[in-house]
Amino acid sequence: MPQGVPTAVPDDGLTTRQRRNRPLLVVHTGEMKGKSTAAFGMALRAWNQGWPVGVFQFVKSAKWKVGEETALKVLGASDEGGPVTWHKMGEGWSWTRKQGTDEDHAANAREGWEQIKRDLVAETYRFYVLDEFTYLLKWGWLDIDDVVAALTNRPGQQHVVITGRDAHPRLVEIADLVLETTKVKHPMDAGQKGQRGIEW
């Protein structure tokens, strides 16, 4: 697809403009790093277009201060671009799994998902990042039929980007764009731990 030109044009009855402006569901999955980073890069583009951006960050610790959050919040509060709202859905449950029971974590995940569904119905944002969302399905905390229905029936021009390993096959099926990160080489292979400015 050089320079954004499609290799084939479907006979779907849509004009070029209609097809170009369809809202997309994007899934960034795979075993390697970069899934969230790529999603936040897309959020920067959405911000630049003046679109309201909603970030819903699951699984990562609510206490973890990530650079993308700081940058997007500052940009969202500026007089340029669109507003940015950051929801840390990991309050009390995180990948460290130090607080609460599994049922507590599942209940909080469901509460976060219900908020996303309300926002989709209300068209609160034009661009959504559901960070680490795939794990909620993998762990059985959310119903895949409910997730598929809400995402496929969302109104308006709402783009949704989902990140996380082991994306559910149904998510992959309904997505418009699916990226899978794979490792060719990594500093950790040589015993180097994550570092500031690179991993966070």
pLDDT digits (tens, 9 = 90+) for 98-152: 566 778 778 888 999 999 999 999 999 999 999 999 999 999 999 999 999 999 9
Length of the chain: 200
Residues 115 and 35: their CA atoms lie apart, in Å, by 23
50 DSSP assignment: T
Query: Measured at the alpha carbon of residue 70, what is the angle toward residues 59 and 120, in degrees to the nearest 5?
Result: 55
Residue 155 near residue 21, CB atoms below 8 Å: no
Q: Residue holding tokens 């929801």?
A: 87
List phi, psi (to 5°) of 28: -105, 110
Q: Given a cut of 90, is residue 25 above it in pLDDT?
A: yes
Residues 6 or more apart whose Cβ sits within 8 Å of residue 87: 54, 55, 56, 57, 112, 115
CA distances from 143 to 51, 83, 120, 131, 173 (A): 29, 30, 17, 17, 16
Which pTM does this prediction carry? Answer: 0.89
- Confidence bin at 61 (pLDDT 50/70/90): low
Q: What topology does CATH give the domain 20-181?
A: Rossmann fold (3.40.50)
Query: What are the boundaries of each domain within the chain?
Result: 20-181
Amino acid at 55: V
- The kind and range of the H/E element at 180 are strand 177-181
pLDDT tens digits, residue range 63-110? Answer: 666 778 888 889 999 999 999 999 987 543 344 445 667 787 788 889
- What does the pLDDT read at residue 103? 80
Q: What is the mean pLDDT of the chain?
A: 88
Q: Residue holding tokens 């999603």?
A: 39
